[in-house]
A and B are shown apart, each in its own frame.
Chain A
């Protein structure tokens, strides 16, 4: 079971992060959060922070999957879990990229 979890964990965390950022975006637009901080509009700042957090989480997971104490012992699971780890990272960077480039509540 642990091997199955190693394979599933990174994309699962991506899915959670993706849904959470979408939820955060809905919350921001639904409640009309405004204001600025650090020279950026507050909504953008919050979303960017969430984006960064999602990427950091994926990086941490990937590092863990490469760490000898956490990674799978058997070659095949090690390979697949690292591949899905990379998939999770790419997915986080790619799918949440809009927080940096599009207008948030238009």
Chain B
């Protein structure tokens, strides 16, 4: 996308520079309209944009959570004071500031808020999704490898906004079982 944008930008810049070099001859308006308006103004962007839109919709469609593939379900609740996470596989268990997930498996995060609007964002795992009062929004994330992934709140939420961060810890299979086996205190 970046390369395409750069190419288009370069094209426009060249077209912009040329008239300063070639001393213009008053071409008939009809020809100018055909070249500049119909060709470059209408046909060219429409072709590029149609391709881009098709690409965007396809990718967007692929990122949607699907009910059938047996993903792990967790719950993330945002508050101005921090994020709390709960686990469907272990009812009653909750963690603050750290979300534990298994690596290599799809996880659906049900995002809610306890006060104002927040946004759940782990840049390396997925795009962001808002936590909105009265709604449960579900985001599909998947960590390829075990490790810690930084997450942040990405919707301005007042005074403590800058510090509203959390970590996603992805465990390998053994670690995940160990986490589930811990005493839910």
Contact = CB atoms under 8 A, between A and B. Distances in A.
A71 B65 CA distance: 50
Nearest to A106: B64
Contacts of A98: 57
B64 A103 contact: yes
B34 to A, nearest CB: 15
Contacts of B65: 106
A102 B57 CA distance: 7
A101 B57 contact: yes
A103 B64 CA distance: 9
Interface of A is mostly: loop
B124 to A, nearest CB: 24
B61 interface: yes
Contacts of A103: 61, 64
Interface string B121-145: 0000000000000000000000000
Nearest to B50: A94
Contacts, number: 9
Interface string B42-75: 0000000000000001001100110000000000
A96 to B, nearest CB: 13
Contacts of B61: 102-103
B182 to A, nearest CB: 34
A101 B65 CA distance: 17
Nearest to B57: A102
Contacts of B64: 103, 106
A40 B57 CA distance: 21
A93 B112 CA distance: 36
A89 to B, nearest CB: 13
Interface in A62-106: 98, 101-103, 106
Nearest to B66: A106
Nearest to A98: B57
A34 B61 CA distance: 20
A31 B180 CA distance: 37
Contacts of B57: 98, 101-102
B168 to A, nearest CB: 23
A80 to B, nearest CB: 13
A100 to B, nearest CB: 11
A49 B23 CA distance: 55
Top 6 nearest A-B pairs (CB, nearest first) are: A106-B64, A102-B61, A102-B57, A101-B57, A103-B61, A103-B64
Given A101-B57, A102-B57, A102-B60, 6 more contacts: A98-B57, A102-B61, A103-B61, A103-B64, A106-B64, A106-B65
7 contacts: A98-B57, A102-B57, A102-B60, A102-B61, A103-B64, A106-B64, A106-B65
